[in-house]
Amino acid sequence: KPAILSYGERARLHKSPAAKALLEVIERKKSNLCVSVDVTKQADFLKVIDVVGPYACLIKTHVDIIEDFDPSLIKNLQDLSVKHDFLIFEDRKFADIGNTVALQYSSGVHKIASWSHITNAHPVPGPSIITGLASVGKPLGRGLLLLAEMSTKGSLATGSYTEEAVRMARAHDDFVIGFIAQRRMEDVGLLENAGESEEDFLILTPGVGLDSKGDSMGQQYRTPEQVVLESGCDVIIVGRGIYGKSDNVDVQAVQSQAERYRTAGWEAYQKRISH
């Protein structure tokens, strides 16, 4: 088996500006941790991000759950992204026809494309969802992730659906930078970034928790070691494992969990590349 490239080496080789930027931040901060900040009030959202920012390569948002949203939130988020050196990933999960997703991505209240370095889409409509989103995002240097698998019990994104997602990404690798998935998907030919092929898709993985196996609504958790070392994924996505109960942000606890997950993710990666 050829040696696995480091994040930094992959950053140098990558053609996509969004993937390159993410790999560079990961290397610079020695963090493959993406924190998912799913809280509903602006003040809590910004507070959590300011606390976890130093430990994260990427902050994942669901901007449509913020009750008191106004455009100043975006400016504040961007300021924090500069202050703490992380990228922004709006987890929008687009799933419509090309024309509609282009409008949802560029317009409306949130104008996602104008501030989110990375976003994602369900492959269910077929390749036109990528061309629709690319018409907006590519000129801005943005990157797209396809949901090839999900972390939930009973997910339908398996087998030939997952394979087709990979095929769609390959046909549009000028905009698709990787996948939301649970594993490297080597059975569909995704190489472990050995530097011998031009192709280098990132695998970002939600459903990560150190203290819990799941929630009461179908979520399933695996550990950073299972995800990064055993399954060959690149980035761990952690939400409630870090921010805990959103109605009462305990700054000290949030900080120590962020530090803990960052260390666990990085140690799993170091084991992987030293194999």
Q: Which residues are catalytic?
A: 93
- Name the residue nearer to ligand BMP (CB basis): 16 or 182: 182
Counting Cβ atoms within 10 Å, is residue 41 exposed (0-12), middle (13-18) or buried (19+)? middle
Candidate ranges 71-79, 195-203, 233-241, 256-264; the one touching ligand BMP (CB under 6 A): 233-241
Contact status, residue 88 vs residue 61, Cβ threshold 8 Å: yes
Does 111 sit near ligand BMP (CB under 6 A)?
no
The DSSP bridge pattern shows strands 143-147 and 176-180 to be parallel
Give CA–CA dist 183/51, Å, rounded: 29
- Residue found under tokens 């990085």: 266
CA distance 18 to 24: 10
Residue nearest to ligand BMP (CB): 239
Answer yes or no whether residue 98 interacts with ligand BMP by CB under 6 A: no
The interaxial angle of helices 98-106 and 128-137, nearest 10 deg, is 30
- Using the minimum distance from each CB to ligand BMP, give the nearer residue, 81 or 257: 257
- Minimum CB separation from ligand BMP for residue 238, in Å? 5
Q: Determine if 233 is a binding residue for ligand BMP (CB under 6 A).
A: no
Of 98, 132, 206, 265, which one interacts with ligand BMP (CB under 6 A)? 206
Which helix H or strand E contains 241, and what residues bound it?
Answer: helix 240-243
Residue 239 binding ligand BMP, by CB under 6 A: yes
Which of the residues 7 through 66 are near ligand BMP (CB under 6 A)? 36, 38, 62
241 binds ligand BMP (CB under 6 A): yes
Q: Contact with ligand BMP (CB under 6 A): which of 219, 223, 231, 257?
A: 219
